[in-house]
Amino acid sequence: MKSAVRVQDLRKVYVLGDEEVHALRGVTLEFPEGDYVAIMGPSGSGKSTFLNVLGCLDRPSSGNYFLGDDDVARMTDDELSEIRASRIGFVFQSYNLIPQLTVLENIEVPLYYRGRVTPADRERCKELAALVGLGNRLNHRPTQLSGGQQQRAGIARSLVNNPRFVLADEPTGNLDSVTTSEILTMLDNLNAAGKTIILVTHEDEVAHRAKRIVRLKDGALQSDQRLRD
């Protein structure tokens, strides 16, 4: 099976004054296309740093990061911006919607990084809104939506550029149990449709919806458990 993401001996060191913080200590992992992976670990284990590196929001101090066949660790800032805009979808715990924009406009946001939004683009955004159950909320603003509806809008936004994979950082952390189940079902369906999903969570129930659980501790790989194919 073709690799969607591959990291080799990934290390990240932050220099804070006279102190060096080793956030990642030689992590080597591969995620095939269509995988569904939960990243777990205690606070300070490196999971957020790992997700930021995968999302091209941060650079590794050393090691290799391959997105498909491309060595992302060697790319320029402009090339990384293009990767973020076109090949990676982000879902955030805090939703990160723009309060002044409508649901439809929030879904369209990633498209502005590549230029204007065409009529065909707008129709695709409407289709994505309908896909996540917000077809009748297109003109609502985030403050008029529940937390679950805001997260649905975030998921639609993450898909607008048809990314190679979706990164989700505690996507159900602010949601009640019923809404959590709905959002997880949505991620299950995206994975069933072929999307590669990598999510960070501290909840065992959420992690066990994935096909695989990777645990980090003190910046190193602690375990890699395949639950199902």
CATH of the domain at 34: 3.40.50.300
Q: What is the pLDDT of residue 84?
A: 86
What pTM was estimated for this model as a whole?
A: 0.90
What would the two tokens of residue 186 be? 């949505």
Q: Which distant-in-sequence residues (6+ apart) come within 8 Å of 77 by Cβ?
A: none
Q: What's the rounded mean pLDDT across residues 127-138?
A: 94
Q: What is the pLDDT of residue 227?
A: 95
How many angstroms separate the Cα of 221 from the Cα of each of 6, 39, 46, 55? 14, 10, 10, 19
Confidence of residue 53 (pLDDT cuts 50, 70, 90): very high
Other C-beta atoms within 10 Å of 15: how many? 9
Q: What is the pLDDT of residue 82?
A: 85
- Phi and psi (nearest 5°) for 136? -100, 15
Q: What's the rounded mean pLDDT across residues 135-158?
A: 95
Residue-averaged pLDDT of the chain: 92
What would the two tokens of residue 48 be? 């957020």
Confidence of residue 60 (pLDDT cuts 50, 70, 90): very high
Range of the domain at 175: 3-226
Q: Are 129 and 135 in contact (CB under 8 A)?
A: yes
Q: Is the pLDDT of residue 115 over 90?
A: no
Q: How many domains does the chain have?
A: 1
What distance in Å separates the CA atoms of residue 69 and residue 87, rounded to the nearest whole number? 13
For 178-200, what is each residue's pLDDT tens digit? Answer: 999 999 999 999 999 999 999 99
Q: What's the rounded mean pLDDT across residues 12-34?
A: 94
Q: Are 198 and 206 in contact (CB under 8 A)?
A: no
Q: Is the pLDDT of residue 212 over 90?
A: yes
Q: What's the rounded mean pLDDT across residues 107-118?
A: 85
Closest CA to 198 of 168, 157, 229, 172: 168
